[in-house]
Amino acid sequence: MDNKKLVAQRIAEHVDMDVLEIEKLVEIPPKSDMGDFAFPCFILAKVLRKAPPMIAIELMEKINKEGFEKIVNNGPYLNFFVDKTMLIKKTIDKILIEGLEYGNTTNGDGETILVEYSSPNIAKPFHVGHLFTTVIGNSLYKSYKSQGYDVERINHLGDTGTQFGKLISAYKKWGDEEALEKEPIKELLRIYVKFHDEAEKNPELVEEGRMYFKRLEDGSEEEVALWKRFRELSLKEFMKVYEMLGVEFDSYAGESFYSDKIDELVEMIEKTGLLVESQGAQVIDLEEYNMPPCIVKKADGATIYATRDLAAATYRKKKYDFSKNIYVVGKDQTLHFNQVFKSLELMGFEWAKDCIHVPFGMVRFADKKLSTRKGDVIFLEDLLNEAVNKTLSIINEKNPELENKEEVAKEVGIGAIIFTYLKNNRTRDIVFNWDEMLSFEGETGPYTQYTYARGKSILRKLGTVEEEADYSLLNSKEEFELVKILENLELAIKSSIDKLEPSIITRYVLDVAKAFNKFYNAHNIANSESEELKNARLKLVEATCVVIKKSLDLLGIKVVEKM
Ligand code: ARG
């Protein structure tokens, strides 16, 4: 039980009020000499018809003080000082027993959460925005999972649409077989760009693209085979990035997966009477909600992106019976999701309220010189490789003797990028700045990984402690502050889920690292005044390492033992 709950429970034993109500009223005092918790007694003044300071005194006398160092009245407040030794022992023991399970709960048992993320478009480069959704989604997945939810990771690939007609047409004219095998996305991008350039001079090409798309939709063998190949080759490329990041999916049911589910959907919408004609197209009117109509079928009968999202949502409800269906997609698609969710609601699905768009900001680069091979498209592989290479040169400077330098540079470089993405509120735009994000100091991924490695190095040098430690010896401010933060991992995870905001965990791990370094700088562990004190401190170091490793894992970042 956390201490706030304990405070509420002790008060509830003497006051005619619900524990949960009391818990909401319990405050954290602004200064630590006022205790760890405070209860404002004036709230009871009306019912008890007594002056608040009187109430505080009476409560103070009656209340069960077990688990607290002291409970004192302070004007109208009752101040609670938790028993530090007990809190330290409880927290460190729990962490060391549970290991990487620390922070986990079974709160989500029996509930299914869908997290849709990444969802790049095949035959197109995986860009910096797709990396943003990928790391947010991966972190949400891990956080939900840690709380006992069943989580399905969905990659809603953009793998259909009129552009594939153009691509087929372009490939037949200018495709280079060898290049396609070697660097598929680059080759597909090359011919796609060429198609657009040529089409400006020769508009007939557009017609040709349309024809190929029609053939593809009608299931013509040659076109379907080409499309399949583009899809497979693209997926193989994406997999490289997912592997580098350690990201996985349970389903790759992308847009094309819903092609054969559209007729049923349209029929269903028709039955509700929502489908109206507008300039030849079939739409759901949303004027009443201040939105443009949701197009279901274009004038030529073709379906669009939104149609497939309507089909996907209804399919997902049937298949997974989700309690939440989360879409991690850039904020530029907010209107699209509002239209889709509103349409679902109008279709009578009460679960439309469980569909949630999780938007995020844009990505920019402070350093314009970042290797962009073509226009302003930044190839993700270049970005990741550059981070790894730059980290490697930092390591070569700082610690040239380090073993497995390449391996370390990979985890630290990629970790730095993930950390940069997840550091601030997700809707804020991101400015990439190499010097800043790769720095071993400041609020960075490398800083947290370095703190972990520092802890591990202490444990390697001084040894881990098997026997019980005397935690009453950990009586400095720095030690207690660190423990209090370590205690809060579960709260951080819960809050990151509630707000769908991985940055809460990023902030949390920064707090842990900062508190650890304060402790480390204030106390010379190796030369502790006694062996007992040293042992207790080593336990604290070990627990800190567990919490950093676990928190970083929730962000999709790996630790390294030495750096
Ligand atoms: N493929 C889209 C893009 O790259 C993102 C898909 C988002 N998901 C969805 N269900 N519409 O912009």
CATH number for the domain including 411?
1.10.730.10
Domain-ending residue, one of 247, 275, 300 = 247
Report the Cα 2 to chain-centroid distance in Å.
Answer: 25
Q: Determine if ligand 1 sits within 6 Å of the CB of residue 440.
A: no
Q: Determine if ligand 1 sits within 6 Å of the CB of residue 327.
A: yes
Q: Determine if ligand 1 sits within 6 Å of the CB of residue 117.
A: no
DSSP 251: B
Q: Which of 114, 119, 231 to mutate to test the pocket of ligand 1 (most atoms within 8 A of CB)?
A: 119
Q: Determine if ligand 1 sits within 6 Å of the CB of residue 329.
A: yes
312 contact partners, CB below 8 Å, separation of at least 6: 156, 253, 255, 257, 258
Q: For the chain, what is the domain count?
A: 3
- In the prediction, which pLDDT does 373 show? 43
Look at residues 402, 121, 129 and name the one whose alpha carbon lies nearest to residue 254.
Answer: 121
Which residue owns the Cα nearest ligand 1 atom 11? 309
127 in active site: yes
Q: Determine if ligand 1 sits within 6 Å of the CB of residue 119.
A: yes
Helix (H) or strand (E) run with residue 119 in it: none
523 in active site: no
How much distance in Å is there from the Cα of 420 to the middle of ligand 1? 23
How much distance in Å is there from the Cα of 236 to the middle of ligand 1? 19
How much distance in Å is there from the Cα of 513 to the middle of ligand 1? 36
Is 259 part of a structural domain of the chain? no
Q: Which of 118, 156, 341 to mutate to test the pocket of ligand 1 (most atoms within 8 A of CB)?
A: 156
Task: Compute the distance between CA of residue 234 and CA of residue 448 in angstroms, rounded to an integer.
Answer: 34
Is 514 part of a structural domain of the chain? yes
The answer to whether residues 400 and 501 belong to one domain is yes
Which residue owns the Cα nearest ligand 1 atom 3? 120
Task: Compute the distance between CA of residue 298 and CA of residue 43 in angstroms, rounded to an integer.
Answer: 61
Task: Compute the distance between CA of residue 415 and CA of residue 316 in angstroms, rounded to an integer.
Answer: 32
Domain-ending residue, one of 189, 224, 247 = 247
How much distance in Å is there from the Cα of 371 to the middle of ligand 1? 26
Q: Determine if ligand 1 sits within 6 Å of the CB of residue 121.
A: yes
Q: Which domain holds residue 192?
A: 159-247
The answer to whether residues 16 and 164 belong to one domain is no
Task: Compute the distance between CA of residue 89 and CA of residue 539 in angstroms, rounded to an integer.
Answer: 10
Catalytic annotation, pick one of 5, 50, 94, 127: 127
The answer to whether residues 545 and 404 belong to one domain is yes
Is 128 part of a structural domain of the chain? no
Helix (H) or strand (E) run with residue 147 in it: none
pLDDT in tens, the chain (563 residues): 678 999 999 999 999 899 999 999 999 999 888 999 999 999 899 888 999 999 999 999 999 999 899 999 999 999 999 999 999 999 999 999 999 999 999 999 999 999 999 999 998 888 888 999 999 999 999 999 999 999 999 999 999 988 899 999 999 999 999 999 998 888 998 999 999 899 999 989 999 998 999 899 888 999 999 999 999 999 998 999 999 999 999 999 999 999 999 999 999 999 999 999 999 999 999 999 999 999 999 988 888 899 999 999 999 999 999 999 999 999 999 999 999 999 999 999 999 999 999 999 998 877 654 444 444 556 788 889 999 999 999 999 999 999 999 999 999 999 999 999 999 999 999 988 888 999 999 999 999 999 999 999 999 999 999 999 999 999 999 999 999 999 999 999 999 999 999 999 999 999 999 999 999 999 999 999 999 999 999 999 999 999 999 999 999 999 999 99
The answer to whether residues 421 and 531 belong to one domain is yes
Residue 403: CB atoms within 10 A of its CB come to 8
Is 355 part of a structural domain of the chain? no
- In the prediction, which pLDDT does 1 show? 61
Give this complex's ipTM: 0.99
124 in active site: yes
- Ligand 1: nearest atom to the Cα of 124: 4
The answer to whether residues 529 and 421 belong to one domain is yes
Is 115 part of a structural domain of the chain? no
- The pTM (predicted TM-score) of the whole model is 0.91
The answer to whether residues 532 and 416 belong to one domain is yes
How much distance in Å is there from the Cα of 424 to the middle of ligand 1? 23
The answer to whether residues 406 and 498 belong to one domain is yes
Domain-ending residue, one of 63, 82, 101 = 82
Residue 69 belongs to domain with CATH number: 3.30.1360.70
Is 321 part of a structural domain of the chain? no
Q: How far is it between the farthest Cα atoms of the chain?
A: 91
The answer to whether residues 389 and 530 belong to one domain is yes
The answer to whether residues 175 and 76 belong to one domain is no
Residue in the structure block whose two tokens are 């040529």:
198
pLDDT digit string, tens, across residues 327-378: 999 999 999 999 999 999 999 999 999 999 999 999 887 765 444 444 455 6
The answer to whether residues 545 and 450 belong to one domain is yes
How much distance in Å is there from the Cα of 144 to the middle of ligand 1? 22
Task: Compute the distance between CA of residue 361 and CA of residue 355 in angstroms, rounded to an integer.
Answer: 20
Catalytic annotation, pick one of 84, 130, 142, 456: 130
The answer to whether residues 398 and 537 belong to one domain is yes
Helix (H) or strand (E) run with residue 362 in it: none
Is 339 part of a structural domain of the chain? no
Is 327 part of a structural domain of the chain? no
